[in-house]
Each structure stands twice: as C-alpha cells, then as structure tokens.
C-alpha cells in the first residue's frame, strides 16, 4: 500500500509540474503588476478549493493553535509568487524560472539541519555548481544592471521563499491534507496582499478577469493542492527536485506560445544549474528519500 500511495503521489506531482509549466506565461500576458496578479490568483484559488471541499463534505477548520504557522506558510507562498512573477516581468520566462529553480539545492542545504541531519558534502558541491551557473547567466552581477541581473536576484529570492514555505507546510500537511492546507495558505496570502489589489500598471477588463480566474483555478488550485498533498508520502527535497522539470516546460511553452526564445548565455547557464538540480533529483529518487 505504501508503494502504491507513493506512486500515486509521484504521478500527481508530475501532472502539477506540467500545469505549472504554463503558469509563468501569465506573468507576461496579464497586464497587471505581480502584486495584483498574486492577490486575484490567490483569491480565485482559495474560493475554488473551498467549493470543492464543501461539496465533498471535507473538514476545513483549522485548530486555533495552528493559525500562526499556517498563516506564515501562506504569507511565504504569496511572497514567493510575487517575487517569481516580478522576476519574469523584469527579465524573461527563462531567466525567472531557471533562477527560481535553484531552490532544490537550497532545500538540500536547509532541510537536513532543520530536521536533525547533516548536510552532505555533495550538496555543498552542487550548490557551488549552481553558483557557477548563475555567474554564467549574469556576468559581472552588478546591482545597477536591469533585466537579467534583477530577474536572477528576484528569482533566487523566490526560491528561498518557496523552500521555507514547503518546510513549514510539512508540519501541517498530514493533519489537514494538502487540499485544505493549500486553501488556508492562499487565503492568508490574499489577505496580506489585499492592499496591492489595485496597485500596478494595467486595468481590469473581462479578458484580464478571465485570465486571472483561469490562473487561480486551473493553474494554481489544482497543481498546488497536488503538490502539497505529495508531501504526505514524499520528503520536501524529493518533491522539490522532481518539480525541476518545470523550467523545461516553461521555456518550451514561452518559445512556442509567446515567441520568447532564450539567449545562448541563458541556455548555457540554465543547463549548468538544471544539470546540478537534475543530479540531485535522480539521487534523491534513487535512494527513496521518504520521511
């Protein structure tokens, strides 16, 4: 039974990654700032999940003692989305998603000491390789350089935030289940981001509203519930590293659907980063890293 449950969660995780591969395009196609997009995305996702849970007669209440921790995880998720979409908006889909996906290495470095284990020497080496890939992406790494430099910095910050969110979520996922936990997280994020709802360029139109609902329901509520639920059987690190297929999907969709073809430097730096992350992914899966 344990093997069957693990296999089912792996399939759900891969389906979620495929949907996430398209999510990055909304940062380019919705004419709003990252803050307003994330607010409406969170609100739509939370309402969609709430309807499903009510219809299924599932428990949605949080214990009062868990409110602070779940709220923190939701705020981390919202900040991750804001910084991720901002990274894409100031640079490109490829730069944003590649920079974000330094986070499995961050997870591999942070998770062991937080859960009473040693950091492995190989993880430190992989972190150095990722740093080399980042250096290829942004030669010189001057803060006054717009475009790629800012995109990489915002993307890497987003990676740290999602790592922290995943680690905090691990404490609550077995109690509430991935779907209910995701609902409370996105509602917490929407509450915090409400002041930003009308900040940023662009205006709300029926087409924009439709895109936001699609982003919130199909490309947020569904894949994030599946990802969070995968933590019931998989460690944070294993789930994170499997999700590194996302950049490949995102870059391909960006090239095909919006004509955004990455530069050779981006491809080379991305190959170095994703190569290191892929190695960590295969090693984690091969050792059946289940907690």
For 45-64, how does the pLDDT look when each residue is reduced to its tens digit (9 = 90+)?
999 999 999 998 888 889 99
What does the angle CA 178 – CA 239 – CA 117 come to, to the nearest 5 degrees?
A: 105
Residue 219 forms part of a structural domain: yes
- Whole-prediction pTM value? 0.86
Write out the two tokens for 101.
Answer: 């996906």
Residue 7 forms part of a structural domain: yes
Residue 118 forms part of a structural domain: yes
* Residue 233 DSSP label: T
Write out the two tokens for 5.
Answer: 């449950």
In contact, 197 and 36? CB cutoff 8 Å: yes
Give the model's pLDDT for residue 188.
97
In contact, 190 and 18? CB cutoff 8 Å: no
Residue 179 forms part of a structural domain: yes
Q: CA 189, CA 193: separation in Å to the nearest integer?
A: 6
Contacts for 66-70: CB closer than 8 Å, 24+ residues apart: 66/172, 66/175, 69/168, 69/171, 69/172, 70/172, 70/181, 70/184, 70/185, 70/188
Residue 257 forms part of a structural domain: yes
Residue 291 forms part of a structural domain: no
Count of domains for the chain: 1
At residue 171, the 3 state secondary structure works out as coil
In contact, 262 and 251? CB cutoff 8 Å: yes
Residue 46 forms part of a structural domain: yes
Give the model's pLDDT for residue 189.
95
Give the model's pLDDT for residue 3.
60
Q: CA 209, CA 212: separation in Å to the nearest integer?
A: 5
Write out the two tokens for 30.
Answer: 């919705």
Give the model's pLDDT for residue 79.
97
At residue 147, the 3 state secondary structure works out as coil
Rg for the chain (alpha carbons), in Å? 18
Give the model's pLDDT for residue 130.
87
pLDDT in tens, 194-208: 988 876 556 789 999
Neighbours of 112 (CB within 10 A): 15
The residue range of the domain holding 242 is 2-286
For residues 184, 188, 191, 193, the Cα torsion angle rounded to the nearest 10 degrees is: -130
pLDDT along the chain (291 residues), means of 10: 69 85 94 94 96 88 94 96 96 93 81 78 83 80 71 93 90 86 94 83 84 96 79 68 79 93 90 83 54 34
Residue 208 forms part of a structural domain: yes
Give the model's pLDDT for residue 56.
85
């Amino acid at each position: 039974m344990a093997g069957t449950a693990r296999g089912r969660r792996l399939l759900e995780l891969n389906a979620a990654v495929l949907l996430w591969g398209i999510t990055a395009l909304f940062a380019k196609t919705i004419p709003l700032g990252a803050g307003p997009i994330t607010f409406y995305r969170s609100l739509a996702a939370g309402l969609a999940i709430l309807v499903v849970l009510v219809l299924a007669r599932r428990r949605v209440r949080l214990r009062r003692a868990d409110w602070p921790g779940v709220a923190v995880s939701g705020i981390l998720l919202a900040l991750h989305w804001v910084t991720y979409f901002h990274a894409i908006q100031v640079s490109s889909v490829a730069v944003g998603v590649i920079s974000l996906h330094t986070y499995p290495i961050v997870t591999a470095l942070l998770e062991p000491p937080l859960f009473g284990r040693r950091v492995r020497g190989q993880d430190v080496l992989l972190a150095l390789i990722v740093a080399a890939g980042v250096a290829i992406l942004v030669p010189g790494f001057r803060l006054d350089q717009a475009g790629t430099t800012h995109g990489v910095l915002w993307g890497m910050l987003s990676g740290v935030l999602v790592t922290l969110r995943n680690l905090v979520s691990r404490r609550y996922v077995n109690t509430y289940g991935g779907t209910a936990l995701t609902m409370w997280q996105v509602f917490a994020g929407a509450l915090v981001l409400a002041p930003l709802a009308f900040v940023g360029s662009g205006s709300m139109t029926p087409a924009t509203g439709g895109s936001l609902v699609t982003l919130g329901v199909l490309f947020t509520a569904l894949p994030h519930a599946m990802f969070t639920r995968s933590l019931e059987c998989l460690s944070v690190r294993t789930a994170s590293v499997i999700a590194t297929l996302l950049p490949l999907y995102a870059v391909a969709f960006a090239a095909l659907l919006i004509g955004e073809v990455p530069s050779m430097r981006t491809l080379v730096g991305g190959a170095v980063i994703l190569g290191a992350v892929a190695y960590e992914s295969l090693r984690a899966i091969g050792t059946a890293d289940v907690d």
